A = this chain, B = another copy of it.
Amino acid sequence: MIERLFTNALLPDGTATDLAVTDGRFVAIEPDIVADEAVPRIDLGGRLVLPAFVDGHIHLDKSFLGEPWQPHRPAASLRGRLAVEKALLAGVRPAAERADALIAQAARLGTVAMRSHVDVDATTGLSHLHAVMSAREKWRGIVDIELVAFPQAGILTCPGTADILDAAIREGAEVVGGIDPESMDGDSEDHLDVVFGIAERRGAKIDIHLHEAGLPGIAQLHRIAARTRALGLGGRVAVSHAYALGDVDEPALDAVARALADAGVAIMTNAPGDRAFPPILRLREHGVRLFAGNDNIRDAWWPYGNGDMLQRAMLIGYRSGFYSDEDLGVALTMATTEAAKALGLEGRGLEQGAQASFVALPASCGAAAVAAPPAERLVFRHGIGLKLPD
């Protein structure tokens, strides 16, 4: 029994297909599907269909999207940047409204799930978390939003933050965050004790911002991998950025790649513009899961970004020297099915039985869409056209 039939579409490999949907799931994806006359048909007009996008790393509480333009202000240090951010955020609409604007833009561009880091520290308390949770509530059923309690200002250097992180998990964040254990907090083991301690105690997942460069950053990844293995948290731990993976020679890279793969630690990258970042294909050869996120979008940290995960896939390919269809396809999976898996979302992708959440757009194949993302998008969630909340 077919409830809705999408016709005249192209699969990412460029072949023609129909897509049949029942109960919000694909029941068939093949050419020339036969259905009862009464079944509603949606002609996709020869458009390409892609799995709906998953943004593996966003900061919903930080963006100025929808606000008057905020020129970027220089800052001499990370602490200076945090002060600039606090000053700028004091002059814009509340986080719940800004988060809502960004979710809406991402949804229109085809994102149906995201992991948002939310600043949580002893001075901010849970105010950002509560704001983003209220935005999340508004979008429930349209965009799945997972929240990371993110200690942007450090844990050890910002006394009281450990308790607030724990409280954030109790109140509804699914993931406990961390940041640069050594360079930010001065004590890797103590920092990781807090993060992994909360994860173990509360059954939370982990996603740690790691900007630490070179071999110190690699050492950090080994520590995280070892703790993940020891606690049996494979598949529930991610490291965001992990720039160090782009800094070191092949023996060091291969060793840490094996450790990450064995432990089940995933790596998130946004393909930064002006510094080295993880070598995607090499890490995948070792079995490491790589996924993509937009990271900062027009905020106090930088002015770029529009919430589009297809453009993010393009930037990942552009920065990685991905030219072949196969490699461009890797960038696309990082913004779709691999990101879904990293977030623990089951049954995504263009396959029978999967959630019928997809994007239709004017392109001839997936590689073409990544290489030059078209602006036009038709977004379907559970087989139904995107409806924005009131």
Contacts and interface: CB of A to CB of B under 8 A. Distances in A.
A319 B274 contact: yes
Contact of A274 (B274, B305, B321): B321
The complex is assembled from copies of this chain, and their number is 2
Given A69-B367, A367-B71, A320 B372 contact: no
Interface in A317-336: 317-321, 323-325, 328
B69 A304 contact: no
A304 B371 contact: yes
Contacts of A319: 273-274
A365 interface: yes
A315 interface: yes
Interface string A349-373: 0000000000000001101100110
A321 B302 CA distance: 9
A223 B107 CA distance: 53
Interface string A45-75: 0000000000000000000000011011010
A372 to B, nearest CB: 4
Contacts of A323: 72, 74, 302-303
A74 B324 CA distance: 8
A298 interface: yes
Nearest to A73: B324
Given A298-B371, A319-B274, A372-B298, A324 B69 contact: no
Given A273-B319, A298-B368, A306-B372, 13 more contacts: A14-B69, A68-B364, A69-B368, A273-B318, A274-B320, A298-B372, A302-B323, A303-B367, A303-B371, A303-B372, A304-B318, A304-B371, A304-B372
Nearest to A68: B364
A138 B100 CA distance: 47
Given A298-B371, A364-B68, A368-B69, A318 B315 contact: yes
A218 interface: no
A230 interface: no
Nearest to A368: B69
Contacts of A321: 273-274
- Helix, strand, loop or mixed for chain A's interface? loop
Interface in A340-390: 364-365, 367-368, 371-372, 375
A15 to B, nearest CB: 12
18 contacts: A68-B364, A69-B364, A69-B365, A69-B367, A69-B368, A71-B324, A71-B325, A72-B325, A74-B323, A74-B324, A273-B317, A273-B318, A273-B321, A274-B321, A303-B323, A304-B317, A305-B371, A306-B372
B368 A303 contact: yes
Interface in A263-294: 273-274
Which of under 10, 10 to 19, 20 to 34, or 35 or more describes the interface residues of A?
20 to 34
A314 interface: yes
A367 B315 CA distance: 19
Given A304-B372, A372-B305, A72 B318 contact: no
Contacts of A273: 317-321
Nearest to A306: B372
A371 B302 CA distance: 9
A273 to B, nearest CB: 4
A217 to B, nearest CB: 20
B375 A375 contact: yes
Interface in A27-54: none
A68 B372 CA distance: 14
Nearest to A372: B306
A298 B315 CA distance: 15
Most chain B beta carbons < 10 A, residue from A273, A274, A317: A273
